[in-house]
Structure 1
């Protein structure tokens, strides 16, 4: 059954405003999605009614906060189909999740001469931690190239794999281009040479059904703020046997069983990796965001977003001077483009003057932009609350802008 988009839009207070005298059209969803009122009110309610530290108090507020907090962990378990809640680690976001794996799994299991494989499509957060680790360990970082459409060269990937490969860390969906990578094949081939696989799910979890058991990935990282939830919160999923074998990431309260000056014993999963007072209110609010997604249905959300992508692609491509960047066959609802003769920042500013919010620049993927020989792109990314009418306004605005340089 089609979604009631007018009703959905009514759940998002931020959408109902004017920017530069025009109704806001928010097409920057790949950077962060907007938040439904239920998420905003949940965060407010926590601080109004339930504010207390968790896991360590015997009083009513502590009990309530702990139950609400751990309920979200259970929702995440179902959302990605992990085997158990203990495999769900709360982090500050995708970036911290990757750094956690680099600092723990990497510290223990990566040795001199070992190889780590990433791809040309990676966000800086899935490049820099591995560069740091490789420099410290004397390991080697290898890169999967892409074709002109922005798709991975899987034959080249086959050639990079070897018994020296210890980790493959790749983005599931490109934040800059929207490309959906063939992660099932990537994971299967990596496992055949004994390597572990980390998936950057920052973009995929908001668009696709992600089942970690079906994929058989060893790690998955993602962020709440791209799933209608709060900023500064993320999730690391890891297989229990791997997480158990990894050393702690940080030391402090909660991650311990017993501390003496002679020796400390560490807590069980997931608490071994959750030192200190966590981001309680935002975790609870993220639970409301997941309920919002579940109520709408992942398949229904994707169908609407795919329809928007198809509609926007068809109409934007007809504009003289419009240059798409990233034309993969399998994409989520992201369109990156340039206008002949214009800097992407200038295009973005002109769109903003019409109330249209897009992202411009290199999108934290400078090596990818270098691959295409460009400084950056204009990126329009669509979510469940966007409409074809908004896309028509975007198309009309881009058409007018393109005529400035492409008469």
Structure 2
């Protein structure tokens, strides 16, 4: 997609109003909403994903109504959260039972039969056992010594939201950001997607950091040690009993035996999603509020608008990768120059997106119940929640940190990520 606006004018087929817009984007009528949502095919989602998205939509609307009525939105240890913890404990209990049963069979022996059965049970227990998070591989990793100014900014934001800072930052090509933990000691990790970071203003970057770090402060049950690892275990079980493709006669019998366990495991997964969905959506709204208190309400709202165009950014990046492939290798140009050019072109493209395209995305969101994924409330509801309260002023100012120095600290990562993107590797 070009960064140069191309004006198009036509009458609306429905109400005959004049439509003026940028031909690079969907032309639609602001008066009657003609063509506001031209019916882009939606991905074929599985049963679990459909259930999660439906719950995210419903709870997003319910919790928005609560917050607009004066609720503080703070996470609560309600009945559903307690039930989710009990169910997760049961899942882990089954893993422990498999381990104990495997050891007992190995010790008993039973003429070798017990040894085989025991090893199978122990292998299952090992496969399903909770594991600490791992540092992502193949992506640039920054420690404090590598980027002191960036870490100082993250520290400022962490203090504002009331949580300890991170130990490491991974930079990748995702149009996103996230927080997680890694290692046995549960060290904190921030994953920073450079395509999103690059298009944000300094204030919006602080809002992004505030939202992500707020998840540590929220005590989000979905990412906790007990429930989060139970979801992973159930997901592994669900994959193990997945029907075999193109089955032979014997495999058809195996697939038939898989039906009942798969239905049971899928049901448990859906139940766990249902029990944690409301608490998780509340945590997202609270993270948005903390982002506004950290960076200001306008900055948090601006971040929401940027999230509306992530699909367009993905298309633009894939187009750039295709162009780079057609041009072939350009060894005469330094990798850093090509990286700088990519980020400059991306920034120019985003700056050229007209307001009427953002407005269209908001209206599409209202129609579809748009959400980033099953773990977030629809983006237009998040935006409405931010705008409904008293405007917040920034607690962390971008002027307190040297943004040019932060860019310098990210220089090597910017080059590496740009090279991956130009090869068509969009992370996430």
User: What is the TM-score normalised by the length of structure 1?
Assistant: 0.23
Whose strand fraction is larger, Structure 1's or Structure 2's? 1
Structure with bigger gyration radius: 2
